[in-house]
Amino acid sequence: MKNDFMKELLLRHKLAMAPESSAPPDYHHQMVVYLGCADRRLKPEEHLKFQPGEAFYLRNPGALVHPQDENIEVMVEALLESPPHDKLKHLIISVHTDCLILKACRDGCGDKISRRRYVKKHLNNVHHEVMKEAKTKGWGNDPAKVLKELEKKSLLQSLANLETLPVVQKAIVEGNLKIHGWLLDTHTRNIYAMNPDTQEFELWVII
């Protein structure tokens, strides 16, 4: 019989269980919806030291946002309705370096990544835009540069799609929600924030 990883997970779970007498984690700190790539090497709860009750996580291959993404609407509503009501809430979309989805997109097999029409459309649009710019500027044969541009353009498309959601638009206008676009370095764990004015990534610092 093949070695079953689930047995090892059960042992880890037993070691991680809280004592029966301990209270459940406090829910009064939910401040963030974190939408990131489903890449198994990434652990946003560890990279950002999120405490229980602070973040909703949504993860999918590539950290892509659909223009009418119901999952995100539900998460944003839940975030806005959760206490404390007087605090600014945040929504983070985080792409990352060395993303297998974006590398596949760069290497021309976007159609094989997913049968889902939206994923193909998102990636094909982004790839088309990047290669158009590459042709003009002459870096189409530089795979590292193409990947960097795919990271940026994919995030920009997701951010634009996010702002088409009425619940998000309303929360931004009323000053209840702030949107952040990030690039996480898969190796160093450094975070680079998208500067909305220059549309370039800059090392994340509090301004």
Asked whether 150 and 143 are in contact (CB, 8 A), the reply is no
32 binds Zn ion (CB under 5 A): no
Give the Cα separation of 152 and 204 in Å (integer). Answer: 15
Check residue 104 for interaction with Zn ion (CB under 5 A): no
Q: Which is nearer to Zn ion, 121 or 132 (CB)?
A: 121
Region of 10-18, 69-77, 93-101, 137-145 interacting with Zn ion (CB under 5 A): 93-101
Dihedral of the alpha carbons of 148, 116, 128, 147, in degrees to the nearest 10 = 10
CB of 99 to Zn ion, least distance (A): 3
Smallest gap from residue 100 Cβ to Zn ion (A)? 6
Q: Does 151 bind Zn ion (CB under 5 A)?
A: no
Q: Are strands 191-195 and 200-203 parallel, antiparallel or unpaired?
A: antiparallel
Report, in Å, the least distance between residue 104 CB and Zn ion. 10
- 76 vs 155, beta carbon nearer Zn ion: 155
User: Rounded to the nearest whole angstrom, what is the least distance from the CB of residue 44 to Zn ion in the complex?
Assistant: 12
Of 38-46, 81-89, 118-126, 196-204, which segment contacts Zn ion by CB under 5 A?
38-46
- Residue 37 to residues 22, 59, 80, 128, 185, Cα–Cα distance (Å): 33, 5, 23, 21, 12
Alpha-carbon radius of gyration of the chain: 19
**Residues between 160 and 189 with contacts to Zn ion, criterion CB under 5 A:** none
For the chain, give percent helix, strand, coil, nearest 5: 45, 20, 40
Binding stretches for Zn ion (CB under 5 A): 37, 39, 99
